[in-house]
Structure 1
Amino acid sequence: MLDSLSKHLRSLQNLNQPTEHWDTLLIYILSNKLDKTTAREWEESKVKCESQTSSNNKSVPPTLEEFASFIRKRADLLETLSLTKETKGNKSRVSYHNQAGENQGKDNIKQVSCIYCKQSQHFIQGCPEFLNLSIEQRTQAVNKHHLCVNCLRNNHNVRRCFAGPCRKCGQRHNTLLHVDKTNTSVNHVSSVSNVPHHSSQVINESIPLQTLSYCQKSSEPKVLLSTVLVNVEDRFGNLQMCRVLLDSGSQSNFITSDTVKKLGLTTSKVDISVTGINQTTSIINRKCQVAIKSTQNSFYLNLTCLVVPKINESLPNHPIDTSAWNIPSNVVLADPTFDQVTNVDMLIGAEYFYSLISIGQIKLGKGLPVLQKTVFGWVVSGPVHTGQTQNVHCHLSTSDTDEDIHNCI
């Protein structure tokens, strides 16, 4: 609901509508969409807000931001209660099976591990032994263990599977079982076999819901990625500057754990399996709500971010000499430090990427980056000639259609 509200408000703001005076109207419309229990909680919270902000014995109506804060807290509470019930249910089932027999209970617990190699550190989608098999051998293994050929789980068949289809051909089978009629896939794998990758790290056991790929390779040409500086609200409502990477190749948004600690943000549980290059797997188990505001105008955005230890190396890898670039003096850069080696605090993916892009582009010349206008200002992105060896950063984050992060809320 908050994401839809933010999206529509941005559209109205682009039409120069005075949305800053619509808090009372919007709160009334949105509160009518709440369930009875949440609506009652909001009325109690509204009374507290009015009493705390009252002056001269006159009550001050709550703001839209206070309403949004209430909704986020309420959602976190309901999620926590849901996870608690699920945990208690699992414990009850394990206890019941233990009464029937200790070995049977152990077998039920093992079902959450890899079905193929019986290891508990990963699931079959990230199993090294399974991934080393040929596609024909993988198919035989899936049939042997009576797994769903679409999602590789053992509690249903493909007719009852709600997971998304193959990402290569759109058919009802898992991408790991896709048979390519050409050798394109094989050649592609061979061409990147020398790419170094981040070692896998299992943060917490969970159900694989999402895939994240990230690779680095020393190569030509060098490309400057789009970064912006934004104001981010900390737990006390104060604004702190953060550096954000805009990436249309990611379906999710990410924030580093150091940034979460710096801002004092509250996190909640989530289970996301993250698979990198060469199928190395790690688990993301935290997410948080982040409110960002433009440093140039009144634009703001509330988004959900997955918490990761690190997004990538510092960008750019080396300082860039821009003395020969003819950047117009009237252009306000979204990241004035784009040419300096600086860490990235957040990543905004394709969910919001194209709504952040505005009309306007300036080409600096052949072999030079372009200036692209965004709601945060002008970003600098494109080829850069530094005369130094520089890593190329590639990001890809995808999630299954019916098993994305929103189903975990």
Structure 2
Amino acid sequence: MSGVLKALLKREKQLHHFTELIDRFLHNFDEERDSRQLNEELKEVAGKDPTVKEEAVQAREDSNFQVMHQFYDRFCNLKAELIELQAGTAHLLSGSDNHQAAGPVSRVKLPDIRLPSFSGKIREWVTVRDTFRSLIDNNNQLTDVDKFTYLRSSLSGDALQEVSSLELSADNYSVAWKALVRRYENKKLIMKAHLDALFSLETLKKESYDGINQLIGEFDKNLQMLEKIGENTAGWSTLLAYMLCSRLDSATLHLWETHHGSTEVPPYDKVIEFLRNHCSVLQSISTSRPSVPDHRPTKTSFCHTTARLPGRCPFCSESWHTAFHCMKFQRMKVPERSEAVNKNMLCRNCLSSGHYARSCDKGVCHHCRQKHHSMLRINQHCLMSKEFSTKLKFDELSSFLAVQGIGSARSLSTKSVQAEVSPRLSDISHFAEQMQFHVLPKLTIALPTANIDPHQWILPESTLMADPQFHKTGPVDVIIGAEYYMDLLKEGQLKATSEGPTLQNTVFGWIVSGRVPNTSSCRLSSVTHACSTADIQDQLTRFWELETCRTRSTHSLEKSACEDHFEKTTVRDSKGRFVVTLPKKECVINQLGESKEIAVRRFAGLEKRFAANPQLKQLYTEFISEYQNLGHMVEVVNETSSGIEYYLPHHAVLKPDSTTTKLRVVFDASCKTSTGVSLNDALMVGPVVQDDLLDHSTISIASVRDSGRRRKDVSHGECYSR
């Protein structure tokens, strides 16, 4: 280890030790005892150089810059706390020096005024700006270094990133403050943010003091901020009254209409005055109403939830707005959107909370008619023509994609390429994005279908077109997927003529879309038709290959044994019916005990139901007769048997409202015998062969025993189910 590195490490260790001492001093600070020592500590801090940490990290070559930034932020926060304490104890020091002349000094400590934290949310900028200017920027007792320290300690998120590259120095304070003002001092965006907050307020569900009071507070706060930035809201009375009334619950709205009692449009001030008085009434009722103790037993429940602030967008945490209006959600790629929806436990169909897609009644995707939101539609791929890929000599990779277009026309892509997409000139924008393109033989016909004369259009001279030859017919080489759409648009839109088309500004330059006025006497039309020419025999062959069960098994040993048992023992009788034997566990089947007693006891209970309900008895008799006539069971002639016997209890389920089967008989193969083993316990569990259906993993072909006859399933072999 070199001598320079040893010296750096020693200074780094001393700096860490000093930081711990300052932290301990602040933690144990007593105003009366430590006020004079505070100035000495500040002098010590001012003499320390926190960049020693950065030099030590670079010298060690460990690249742990996160630790370095964390230490730097901690050092700045400690210094800011010392400066705050100094400002708060200045009256004690001056009072102590002039005690004899000035008389007694108050020892009451005023509460600290903490700077509001600013993370970059545009709605908070005006409040943060005015507070910081009043407490810090206009304070002549603070140096620019101290002001910069305060500024950094009050920033977080995007706002902190704006000034994080500037070193802590007196000269950089003004640079940092101007950078924040330049980015966030945007009257249009500030006004839009407060208007969005007003328009996104939710309608109250029921009459309550808290709900109405919060609604009034939101209107007052946002209107005051709009007036503060110079917006004249005096002429908005009618609009504000309508917005406020439309967000009231039905009970409060009924009271207001009764109170107003006029056909004239009410002014906003009158609505607010009524709601304030109504709030006072609700508050008086809630405080005077005695609380009734709840003697019901408490229930403990557990659930997994995702914390989300009420009235906030789940994606950007701003005031509530729909996903269509959330810029952060729109900038996400489709997989990122899906992950954000799952993380916030939202419905994938309507992007709301409180339910899931399977129970959502808000419609389906308007693209594919599936039950998911159109913004979560995954198949929004980028496409490229084969000719264009060959011309640019892209490396093509194997990739399968079936593309379905208008009229269910299908195309198949077996290759894909990776390409960086950027504008034709760097003067247009610095956009550059790596995209995956699926290669198709042809994308579409040449567009436009005929040359267009744009000389009559109104185009600004400074307009840079994405395609300077847009008015000439030419091939379409690439199609960029919709998942990139919002990233490509920029502010700016104008009409070329009163009848169209529309020019839209993008990262590639201006593009043209819409209707073009017809200046020619001839009409051009084109039709693109695509169809599948696959041979019907090939399609049938592929269908049966997919449907066959003879694929390599990936099941467990028990499921594989059950599958083998089915293939070896299943036969068809003379009538064409399948005869299936039960897949028994040989080591368990012999453990079946006595089961007749419980089966007879349950049947006795069933007979009592027959006595009370003749209709039930008639339907049951018809069912048993049909069961026997179909050959599903046979009568046991010889009661003694050397094989294994299992008596199946059963009961009748009556559904008078059913249009098909009003009665069905349920056989209980899970009923335990005297040994604690049931028939289901002695049967192997087979694999699930159909998805999204009920799992009938245990198939019980059961027979019953009524008042004088015993019946046996012929397909059970040596296991007699009675």
- Whichever structure has more strand as a proportion of its residues is 1
TM-score interval, smaller chain: 0.3 to 0.5
TM-score w.r.t. the length of structure 2 is 0.20
Q: Which has the larger radius of gyration?
A: 2
Between 1 and 2, higher relative CO (CA 8 Å, sep ≥ 6) is seen in 1
TM-score w.r.t. the length of structure 1 is 0.35
Name the structure where helix makes up a greater proportion of residues.
Answer: 2
